[in-house]
Amino acid sequence: MPERRETLTTISVPAISPGNYVRLRREALGLSVNDLALMLETVPGVSAHRRAEWLTMIETGVEDISVYVALALHDTIAIDLRILAYWMAIAEGAKPYRIGTMPALLPMFPYPQKGTG
């Protein structure tokens, strides 16, 4: 029987910004920036024009996405918070990994050795 060899392949993940992810999701739903601005509520109340400017700044990377904004976008246009968190981490300098897997935690959280804990 021939020997079976497995090879590991590095998967190249195209980097996008968190704002680009928001834009792609909005466009997939057929919404303009103004449409989405009208759908979002703010406290205190802000004009739709100002919300549209703010969304444009988020989509172009000028403005960061806060937790509150992420939750509002999730509620409004079903942004996947896991994917958004992934791209936010990449934007902050984290190394990419395959979505759906957990990086090894052993170097950060070693298990106690037998007899030591």
The model's pTM:
0.66
Number of domains in the chain: 1
24-78 pLDDT, tens per residue? 999 999 999 999 999 998 888 899 999 999 999 999 999 988 888 888 999 999 9
Q: Which of helix, strand or coil describes residue 111?
A: coil
**Does 40 reside within a domain?**
yes
Confidence of residue 111 (pLDDT cuts 50, 70, 90): very low
Query: Could you give the CA distance from residue 106 to residue 117 in angstroms, rounded to a whole number?
Result: 16
Place of tokens 């021939």: 2
Q: Is residue 59 part of a domain?
A: yes
Query: Where in the sequence is the domain holding 27, given as residue range(s)?
Result: 22-91
